[in-house]
Amino acid sequence: MPKYMLIMRGTDETMGKMMETPFEEILETMGRFNEELIRAGVLVAAEGLDDPAQTVVVDFSGETPVVTDGPYGETKELFGGFYLLDVASKEEAVEWAKRLPAFPGTKVEVRRVPTIDEFPQDNEWVVKERAWRERTGQA
Q: Is 41 exposed, middle or buried (0-12, 13-18, 19+ CB in 10 A)?
A: exposed
Tell whether pTM > 0.85.
no
In a domain, 132, yes or no: no
- The CATH number assigned to the domain holding 85 equals 3.30.70.1060
Residue 70 confidence (pLDDT):
73
Q: Say if 23 falls within a structural domain.
A: yes
Q: How many domains does the chain have?
A: 1
Domain membership flag for residue 18: yes
Torsional sign, CA 74, 76, 82, 84: negative
Tens digit of each residue's pLDDT (9 = 90 or more) over 110-123: 999 998 899 999 99
Q: In this structure, is residue 51 part of a structural domain?
A: yes
